[in-house]
Chain A
Amino acid sequence: MADDRNSAVHLSAEVFAMSLGDDSEREDFELGSDGVEEDVEDDSDDEELMVTLGFVQAVEEPWKMARQHFPCKIGGTPAWLDPINIPEGDNTQCGICDNPLGFLMQVYAPIGIDDVGYREEVFHRSLFLFVCPNMACLQQDQHHQLKKSPERPCRSVKVFRSQLPRTNRFYDYDPPSRDSSPATEAVPVCTWCGAWKATSVCGGCKQARYCSRVHQLAHWRGGHDSFCRVVQAELASNKQESELKFVQNPENSTTDAVRTMVQGVITRVTDTLLKSGIANAISDKIWPEVELIVGEEEDSMPSDAINTSRNPQQLLQDYEIRRENNGEEFTATDMEDVEESSREQQNWAAFQARLAGAPDQVLRYCRAQGAKPLWPSLEGQPKQSDITPCFNCGGPRIFEFQLLPQLLYFLQVQNETDNDSLDWATIAVYSCAASCNKSDSTCEGYVEEFAWVQLAVS
């Protein structure tokens, strides 16, 4: 009985059927391969863990980008979860060039009951990712992310996490309705970037606020210089007059029209900030705002993943037909030593194959014990010791999500300039496993997390 089964197995192996061996590897009997060949495709870990994907979609309903709706978005201005205790000072700046960081994306990522680090009091949870738009800083950052000795290495990529309990002073207990506005006001943010807390005010008009000198200069050159004087004059003369006065005087109509327009703009800007929960930014350097949609990863490979080539099945059939008609064209000895690609290439091919199911994905989220990011290249991967422990509580960090280079395509990052445009292979974000609070007493505030950047190997 047993013999029959064994011989059946051998026979079937010869007729192109798969044998059901297990994965223990000893000697490698394969001809022509270089050393022990590991199957780069066998990612048994990742097969079991469910990965959630993020896709880019144009903003269809702008009200959803407000902070009381807990958005997941890319670009634009950050919808701070905790609107009062926004990061400030050094945290807002690139560690290398000291310019304020640009807001790249944010995710609303609560922790489920079955997940690592679940606690009753952590209901809302968001992560915010900031990147310095200067590519030179990103390249320098590669050295800094390896350093572990200083308390906080100076990075050009920073991630902040914020969490709140369900009953908090900023938001209602229940899910908000469409027209709702946030319960409390936000701290005023910089008029230029709309991201960071405004620490200084324009000396001229006292209306525009800035987070840093850099942005004040940028706004001044970007149009505020002409506006500022008009606003100054308007405010000086407007002490007794009512707000929106429309004078039908032909000689003064233009100046009055400008005044009312300016006044209207100022009041509108401050109103939207307070009432809707969305901050506006004037800068044109910020990334375009898009929404981040959640999707599931499909397991199966698409059947027609290849463009101009015919179906593998068709090719196989052609091959079989040729074999039947003409006999075997190439023998095994002919093909031996035709080398397979290097391990780096194989890893890249496996990476692309994994993306093939959803080629427009930009984010991969998997926060679970043993989750690993999908690395595009073999070199530049962090070791376990490279992932620093949490700055706040000292506990270990686990992988949470990673950004893929397709995002650069959707953001229409200008590619033309030589080394100036942002380019990365992946950015992997590691967060505190326990999802600790900023301080013992309250949940509020932002904790800085760790981002590992892998640059594209050229």
Chain B
Amino acid sequence: MAERGGERGGFGRGFGRGDRGDRGGRGDRGRGDRRGGRRGAKRDEEEKWVPVTKLGRLVKDGKIKSLEQIYLFSLPIKEHQIVEFFLGSALKDEVMKIMPVQKQTRAGQRTRFKAFVVVGDNNGHVGLGVKCSKEVATAIRGAIILAKLSVIPVRRGYWGNKIGKPHTVPCKVTGKCGSVTVRLVPAPRGSGIVAARVPKKVLQFAGIEDVFTSSRGSTKTLGNFVKATFECLLKTYGFLTPDLWRETRFSKSPFQEFTDFLAKPHKISVVEDVEKTPVY
């Protein structure tokens, strides 16, 4: 029985394994190979990104201008490509530690590797990721992605004279996690980061050059220190300083913004500039 129209007779072109005597396997194998071949070639990674969440689609369309717009409305970032889209090559990453952790099983011990990765652009964004996996490379890869998802904005200010770039936290802030409270205190230029090893790394990647820290609580659980530090850094944006006394003009959430824009096509809507970095 001759198959007319090439292999695209329609029989067996579908998804099920409907193998019948006429055709030898799936008629679409040619296309399948082509997809495999394309994947092997080097492609632009950003082009390859197909967003999965609504926020991702908005970002890919270019409707969102900056990462700060997302932070402003506390929208959860679920795709690491969103962070890469905005911060791009400025984002540096570093493996802090690879730790083997062992699990007791009936047939001996099962070793997995826990990778700690910190990412940051030395300019107000930092994130920390932890991932445990059977292979080191998988753990590192997973930790990088998780670190990017946890990127937070860090606000910097001055200790005294407002000359040069901001170099320290804008004010005394304190963060608490578990029983540990961490207090970040502005420091004059040249003091360096006075903190324990792990928070020091985090603060370095955030772009803070000088800061005094003080911790309280069960200092044995130094790990909570990191989370408390993160809380602190997040609070830097919550603190109302005199330069922010000007009344905020509330802008619309990215999801809502464009509803009105589309509803009134004849009016040009003004997109509020949300990137109001404090002006000193």
Question: Could you list which residues of chain A lie within 8 angstroms of chain B, going by C-beta atoms?
Answer: 9, 13-14, 16, 18-33, 37, 39, 41, 52, 54-55, 64, 68-72, 107-115, 123, 125-126, 174-178, 293-296, 298, 301-302, 304-310, 312-313, 315-316, 318-319, 328-330, 332-341, 345, 348-349, 352-353, 355, 357-360, 363, 365, 367, 376, 401, 404-406, 408-410, 413-421, 423, 456, 458
When distances are taken between beta carbons in the complex, the residues of chain A under 8 Å from B178 are 337
CB nearest neighbor in B for A15: B100
Chain A proximity mask over B225-243: 1 for CB below 8 Å, otherwise 0: 0110000000000000000
Among A113, A353, A359, contact of B142 (Cβ-Cβ < 8 Å): A353
CB nearest neighbor in B for A72: B14
Counting from the closest, the 3 A-B pairs by CB-CB distance are A337-B223, A175-B9, A110-B18
Q: Indicate if the CB atoms of B262 and A417 lie closer than 8 Å.
A: yes
Q: Indicate if the CB atoms of A70 and B224 lie closer than 8 Å.
A: no
When distances are taken between beta carbons in the complex, the residues of chain B under 8 Å from A337 are 178, 221-224
Which of B5, B13, B15, B19 has the most CB atoms of chain A within a 10 A radius of its CB? B15
In the assembled complex, B274 has its CB within 8 A of some CB on chain A: no
When distances are taken between beta carbons in the complex, the residues of chain A under 8 Å from B138 are 41, 301
Which of B80, B87, B140 has the most CB atoms of chain A within a 10 A radius of its CB? B140
When distances are taken between beta carbons in the complex, the residues of chain B under 8 Å from A125 are 14, 16, 18
Q: Would you give 24 A-B contacts (Cβ < 8 Å), ordered by A?
A: A13-B100, A21-B103, A22-B106, A22-B107, A26-B106, A33-B101, A69-B10, A69-B13, A70-B13, A71-B13, A108-B13, A115-B17, A308-B91, A309-B144, A312-B144, A316-B95, A330-B96, A335-B96, A335-B99, A338-B128, A339-B227, A357-B39, A415-B63, A417-B259
Secondary structure call for the A interface: loop
Q: How far does the Cβ of B130 sit from chain A's closest Cβ, in whole Å?
A: 5
CB nearest neighbor in B for A115: B17
Among A175, A333, A409, A418, contact of B50 (Cβ-Cβ < 8 Å): A409
Among A9, A28, A69, A404, contact of B108 (Cβ-Cβ < 8 Å): A9
In the assembled complex, B1 has its CB within 8 A of some CB on chain A: yes
Which of A126, A175, A340, A414 has the most CB atoms of chain B within a 10 A radius of its CB? A175
Docked CA distance A70–B227 (Å): 56
CB nearest neighbor in A for B35: A295
In the assembled complex, B71 has its CB within 8 A of some CB on chain A: no
Among B32, B58, B107, B140, contact of A294 (Cβ-Cβ < 8 Å): B32
Docked CA distance A48–B45 (Å): 29
Q: How far does the Cβ of A348 sit from chain B's closest Cβ, in whole Å?
A: 6
When distances are taken between beta carbons in the complex, the residues of chain B under 8 Å from A401 are 15
When distances are taken between beta carbons in the complex, the residues of chain B under 8 Å from A16 are 98, 100, 113, 136
CB nearest neighbor in A for B223: A337
Docked CA distance A107–B35 (Å): 19
Q: How far does the Cβ of B195 sit from chain A's closest Cβ, in whole Å?
A: 12
Docked CA distance A123–B20 (Å): 9
Among B80, B98, B111, contact of A316 (Cβ-Cβ < 8 Å): B98
In the assembled complex, B162 has its CB within 8 A of some CB on chain A: no
Q: How far does the Cβ of B103 sit from chain A's closest Cβ, in whole Å?
A: 6
Docked CA distance A174–B53 (Å): 44
When distances are taken between beta carbons in the complex, the residues of chain A under 8 Å from B224 are 337
In the assembled complex, B105 has its CB within 8 A of some CB on chain A: yes
Q: Indicate if the CB atoms of A352 and B52 lie closer than 8 Å.
A: yes
When distances are taken between beta carbons in the complex, the residues of chain B under 8 Å from A330 are 96-97, 116, 197-198, 201
When distances are taken between beta carbons in the complex, the residues of chain B under 8 Å from A68 are 10
Docked CA distance A19–B104 (Å): 11
When distances are taken between beta carbons in the complex, the residues of chain A under 8 Å from B94 are 315, 318-319
When distances are taken between beta carbons in the complex, the residues of chain B under 8 Å from A176 are 4-5, 9-10
CB nearest neighbor in A for B226: A338
CB nearest neighbor in A for B89: A308
Q: Indicate if the CB atoms of A307 and B84 lie closer than 8 Å.
A: yes
Given known contacts A72-B13, A308-B91, A358 and B39 CB-to-CB distance under 8 angstroms: yes
Docked CA distance A56–B79 (Å): 21
When distances are taken between beta carbons in the complex, the residues of chain B under 8 Å from A316 are 95, 98, 136-137, 140
Given known contacts A29-B104, A409-B50, A294 and B28 CB-to-CB distance under 8 angstroms: yes
Among A174, A349, A376, A419, contact of B146 (Cβ-Cβ < 8 Å): A349
Q: Indicate if the CB atoms of A18 and B134 lie closer than 8 Å.
A: yes
When distances are taken between beta carbons in the complex, the residues of chain A under 8 Å from B183 are none
Q: Indicate if the CB atoms of B19 and A113 lie closer than 8 Å.
A: yes
Given known contacts A70-B10, A174-B4, A340-B130, A329 and B96 CB-to-CB distance under 8 angstroms: yes
